[in-house]
Structure 1
Amino acid sequence: MLQQESLVEYGFNRVIITITAIMCALLEIIDTTIVNVALNEMRGNLGATLADVSWVIAAYAIANVIVVPLTSWLSQQFGRRNYFAVSIVIFTVASFLCGNATSIWELVFFRFIQGLGGGALLVTSQTIITEVYPPEKRGMAQALYGMGVIVGPTLGPPLGGYIVDNFSWPYIFYINIPIGVIATLLTLSYVKSPNYGGKKSFSEVDWWGILFLIMAVGSLQLVLEKGQEHDWFEDTSIIIFAVMAASGIYMFIWRELTAENPAVDLRVLKDKNLAIGTVLSFILGFGLYGSTFVIPLFTQNSLGWTALQSGNMLVPSSIATAMMMPIVGRAIQGGFSQKYLIAAGFSVFFGYSLWAYTIITPFTGEGDFFWILMLRGVGLGFLFVPTTTLALSSLKGKEIGQGAAFTGMVRQLGGSFGIALISTYISRQNVQHRADLITHVSPYDPAVAQRMSGLESNFMSHGASAGEAVQMATRAMEGAVMKQAALLTYMDVFLGIGVFFLLCVPFVLILKPNKGKVDMSQAAH
């Protein structure tokens, strides 16, 4: 009990540790999206193809999803403070090396190393920030942590766009360096490391479990990142990695259920609330990263906005989420049931998706999106903290740290599944809608003939010959059909996401009620 109390901080120390943990969580999450707007500059500067430069994102995501489930075990092996500090150092040094990369594959390699350091920051920050608060304030601690997790993905694109527009792409990595140095010094000075008493010798380490985990989640993440680009199972390499992922998952589960000292204790999933919370974390990741992915895609591809415009549009939504976090945290502290908050979040998210479905036109403007995205922010605010606390609500001791790692990994995979599914659906549904629309564009239709005649006359009035005007008019009609097909596809995506979240509401309402508040300080024991 003395060890548990010694982790709680008050006053200045708690403020410093809270700022350090949130800063590290933000660093990790912003770096998952900040590079998106700089890919073209990287490609031109490093002489890479679009397929090559996409590995800059994939390498980071793969390293992240490998490390996250191992964070609980690594913290026990090396001590939480030491592991956290070393992870910040790895992330910071790798950021410097990314900025100095002279070839695309150097950059990909350093991004993988950066992801290995960054993966630890998210889950460990969550545990640290919750441990320093007394039990009655831990709902609020989850809310403070959640602000970083939810706000981070939407801050990346506008920040990256500003840096690329005003400086150059290496600076999206260099800005991590001073923050990383400060965070390392603060961690070593203020963060305490619990006495686990469970450190294992080299021979006792579950190396097979770690190898199968890397094989399983690494291959799965690679399939999700690269599947659409290679036309999924039409490509031999995707089939090979899919088989490796399936085999790795099977062998990992078998190993962890039979090993005496498993690297990841899967038995903790016997807890009903954690199992349900893990599923909800997957859905949350799907909604958070999927909607963050599809909105800039629509505004840039269909409305012609710049990356910076699209990124800036998401900032008010993040502010709305940040404002909701303390409110939801206080509601949980006051004994309000998590399942009703989660159901409210899914319902609000359905409302957001349905509203977005109704306003999509070729003339949709920034003002049309403002209140819709504010509603999205409110929905995410209702979802994150209750989902996390519900998942950990009936765990005890070191199981809590393992549960936090599970939910963190699954949230990342949910985002990857969401992006992969949405990008595949958009690609294929575009083709389907074009095929449906083109049947109504007949030269024998008076309205079509009149439109073509008007286009031809317009092009001829600008100096085109009769033959050129016909070709240009045909291309213009094809462009109009493709634009309409894209709009219909994005409408389908928003409606599909909304229906998916609406179907989750009755599932959430039958959940087992929370038995009590989570004492995260027990995660060390």
Structure 2
Amino acid sequence: MAEAQATYTPPPPLQGAQLVLGTVVLSLATFMNVLDSSIANVSIPAISGDLGVSPSQGTWVITSFAVSNAIAVPLTGWLTQRFGMVRLFTSSIVLFVLASLLCGLAPNIGMLIFFRVIQGLVAGPMIPLSQALLLQTYPPEKSGVALAMWSMTTLVAPVTGPLLGGWITDNISWPWIFYINIPIGLFAALVTWNLYRDRETPIRKLPIDTVGLASLVIWVGALQIMLDKGKELDWFASTQIIVLGLVALIGFAFFVIWELNEEHPVVDLRLFARRNFWVGTLVLALGYGVMFGNIVLLPLWLQQYMGYTATWAGIIMAPVGVLAIVLSPYVGNSMHKVDLRLYATIAFVTFAIVLWMRAGFNTSADLETLLIPTFVQGIAMAFFFVPLVAITLSGLRPESIPSASGLSNFARITAGAFGTSIITTLWEDRAAEHHAHLTEAITDASIATTQALSTLDKLGMTRDQSLSHINHLIEQQAFMLSANDIFAASAALFLLLAGLVWLARRGDAQAAGAPGGAGGAH
């Protein structure tokens, strides 16, 4: 078995209709997976009300999926060697469909959370393996196109999720946010198996690294719960958060030491010895964390302080996909001619410009003002995922792709959780500072205050009502100023990342998954 693994050569690329069909079903599986990580977000109030629990208990529907998914993603490489890439991918889709059905049928919150844990676990290998199978499906010179096709699904699904989830919850019922996975998943599993079953990778009966697996579950679980519950429990003012943080830190340190000394590690951390892998993974994770945190922040600000409904906030976010979808094929086709670090730099500089534009928003911003930066952001999205994934995977042997993809996706997902927690916490903290500063001018000696109170008095408001109204206006301004601070700081971070990506060696799109590619030299 070990000899077969060492001499393994990937099967020839698919052609014609099979190539198109393979791209479609692999993208569909990825779309279904990414969609499910965000579709439940807007449905939590309906789920909580229907199952008779508080909204804070309902958020465990999201947390349970995120925690189990984060644990399963880095196991992809080990599971692939043990069961085979095609068999593992197809099984993941079928089990994901079954878990989706059980989520929709769940009679209470406990069972729903349990089925979401299962759904997250079986979903783990799907995104990394869809990348690996796509790279195997296309010839090396077209690997950029393969990654571009894959990236479109990861760009569109997070925007589609809240819109689709809100519409289904309002017009049908919340279980259907899970039931819609069934036809998509069954079709994807059936076609994938028919197309790829003769293209299976070698299987090695590796011993199970139980200590590494247990430590992974402990530290990732503690970290994800800490990030999810931190803001609610006031972070390190809470004993629970301190304990979770210590468990995550100590568990992570033990995990790294153990895995680096284990003969058959459950996660291959030695990949970080490759310069392009660690630089690509670091830059992709940091960039995604900042981007995702801002993607969460903008709709929150619009809905809570600008009077937008969830649907209209979603509409403002939707144009990001237009230029991303238009430009991604161009990026994929031209990657073998261009230094990939240059494309990544274009992405980061565009992100910085977009966020600098948002840093100038005010409470009178009209629809056009809000939409233009979102539309321009599509350029950044097109140049972000594909080149950075290609840089990360460049020079790796085909059999190493599942491990590398799983590890880089784990870093990206975890960074997204960090970005969301940090940015939303900073938003509230900065808003409190701005609120305190703005209220310093609200005194009985202030002419502006006296005039405002007089005007509101003429409208029939009591003094308490008038002061409450003024406080609401100040709060609106405070959160707007805080959002501006976050947008400006994020723009600066993206400019720093534009420099950091040049630590990688020149990336070659053809080297992603090609044996001996020059782009991934140590």
Bin for the TM-score computed over the shorter chain: over 0.9
Q: What is the Cα deviation at residue 506 of structure 1?
A: 2.1
2:471, 2:425 → 1: CA distance? 22
Q: Specify the SS of the correspondent of 2:459.
A: helix
Q: What is the Cα deviation at residue 514 of structure 1?
A: 2.4
Q: What is the Cα deviation at residue 304 of structure 1?
A: 1.3
Aligned to 1:464: none
CA gap of 1:365–1:47, structure 2 versus 1, over 3 A, is: farther
The 5 Å alignment of 1:443-458 reads 443-458=444-459
Residue 502 of structure 2 corresponds to residue 509 of structure 1: yes
- Within the candidate set 489, 496, 519, 2:489 is matched to 496
2:10, 2:244 → 1: CA distance? 47
Aligned to 1:49: 54
Q: Specify the SS of the correspondent of 2:511.
A: coil
1:7, 1:213 → 2: CA distance? 36
Aligned to 2:519: none
Aligned to 2:141: 136
1:481, 1:244 → 2: CA distance? 40
Aligned to 2:257: 254
Q: What is the Cα deviation at residue 70 of structure 1?
A: 0.5
2:403, 2:76 → 1: CA distance? 8
Q: Is 2:25–2:192's contact at 8 Å kept on the other side of the alignment?
A: yes
The 5 Å alignment of 1:118-133 reads 118-133=123-138
2:161, 2:150 → 1: CA distance? 17
Q: What is the Cα deviation at residue 190 of structure 1?
A: 1.1
1:6, 1:397 → 2: CA distance? 11
- Within the candidate set 332, 346, 360, 2:335 is matched to 332
- Within the candidate set 287, 292, 297, 1:294 is matched to 297
Deviates more, 1:1-10 or 1:289-298: 1-10
Residue 274 of structure 2 corresponds to residue 281 of structure 1: no
Q: Is 1:4–1:521's contact at 8 Å kept on the other side of the alignment?
A: no
1:81, 1:59 → 2: CA distance? 27
Listed as ranges, the gaps of 5+ residues in structure 2 are 1-5, 517-522
1:2, 1:366 → 2: CA distance? 58
Q: What is the Cα deviation at residue 193 of structure 1?
A: 6.1
Give CA deviations for 1:279-334 in whole Å, capped at 9, x if unaligned.
0121232133212211111111111111111112222211221212111112212x
2:373, 2:467 → 1: CA distance? 36
The 5 Å alignment of 1:153-168 reads 153-168=158-173
Give CA deviations for 1:316-359 in whole Å, capped at 9, x if unaligned.
211221212111112212x200111111111000000001111x
Q: Specify the SS of the correspondent of 2:204.
A: coil
The one-letter code sitting in structure 2 at the alignment partner of 1:246 is L
1:2, 1:271 → 2: CA distance? 22
Q: Is 2:394–2:511's contact at 8 Å kept on the other side of the alignment?
A: yes
Q: Specify the SS of the correspondent of 1:520.
A: coil
TM-score, length of structure 2 as denominator length = 0.94
2:12, 2:112 → 1: CA distance? 39
Aligned to 2:520: none
Q: What is the Cα deviation at residue 448 of structure 1?
A: 0.8
CA gap of 1:408–1:222, structure 2 versus 1, over 3 A, is: same
1:366, 1:105 → 2: CA distance? 41
Q: Is 2:80–2:402's contact at 8 Å kept on the other side of the alignment?
A: no
Residue 238 of structure 2 corresponds to residue 235 of structure 1: yes
Deviates more, 1:212-221 or 1:443-452: 212-221
Q: Specify the SS of the correspondent of 2:443.
A: coil
The 5 Å alignment of 1:77-476 reads 77-192=82-197, 194=199, 196-201=201-206, 204-333=207-336, 335-358=337-360, 360-459=361-460, 469-476=462-469
Residue 68 of structure 2 corresponds to residue 67 of structure 1: no
Q: What is the Cα deviation at residue 185 of structure 1?
A: 1.1
1:19, 1:452 → 2: CA distance? 62
Q: Specify the SS of the correspondent of 1:313.
A: helix
CA gap of 1:121–1:5, structure 2 versus 1, over 3 A, is: closer
1:196, 1:257 → 2: CA distance? 25
The one-letter code sitting in structure 2 at the alignment partner of 1:504 is L
Q: Specify the SS of the correspondent of 1:398.
A: helix
Aligned to 1:466: none
Deviates more, 1:191-200 or 1:378-387: 191-200
- Within the candidate set 17, 23, 28, 1:18 is matched to 23
1:397, 1:86 → 2: CA distance? 21
2:305, 2:182 → 1: CA distance? 37
Q: Is 1:398–1:522's contact at 8 Å kept on the other side of the alignment?
A: no
CA gap of 1:104–1:90, structure 2 versus 1, over 3 A, is: same
Q: Percent of aligned positions with the same letter in both sequences?
A: 31
The one-letter code sitting in structure 2 at the alignment partner of 1:352 is V
1:74, 1:245 → 2: CA distance? 24
The 5 Å alignment of 1:17-36 reads 17-36=22-41
Q: Specify the SS of the correspondent of 2:284.
A: helix
The one-letter code sitting in structure 2 at the alignment partner of 1:488 is L
Q: What is the Cα deviation at residue 400 of structure 1?
A: 2.7
Cα-Cα RMSD: 1.8
CA gap of 1:147–1:73, structure 2 versus 1, over 3 A, is: same
Residue 477 of structure 2 corresponds to residue 484 of structure 1: yes
TM-score, length of structure 1 as denominator length = 0.94
CA gap of 1:368–1:38, structure 2 versus 1, over 3 A, is: same
2:414, 2:19 → 1: CA distance? 32
CA gap of 1:10–1:3, structure 2 versus 1, over 3 A, is: farther
Q: What is the Cα deviation at residue 15 of structure 1?
A: 1.4
The one-letter code sitting in structure 1 at the alignment partner of 2:430 is Q
Q: What is the Cα deviation at residue 48 of structure 1?
A: 1.2
CA gap of 1:499–1:519, structure 2 versus 1, over 3 A, is: closer
1:125, 1:365 → 2: CA distance? 40
Q: What is the Cα deviation at residue 44 of structure 1?
A: 1.1
Q: Is 2:427–2:483's contact at 8 Å kept on the other side of the alignment?
A: yes
Give CA deviations for 1:362-410 in whole Å, capped at 9, x if unaligned.
2223222222101111111111111001111132343332221111111
Q: What is the Cα deviation at residue 80 of structure 1?
A: 1.4
Q: Specify the SS of the correspondent of 2:359.
A: helix
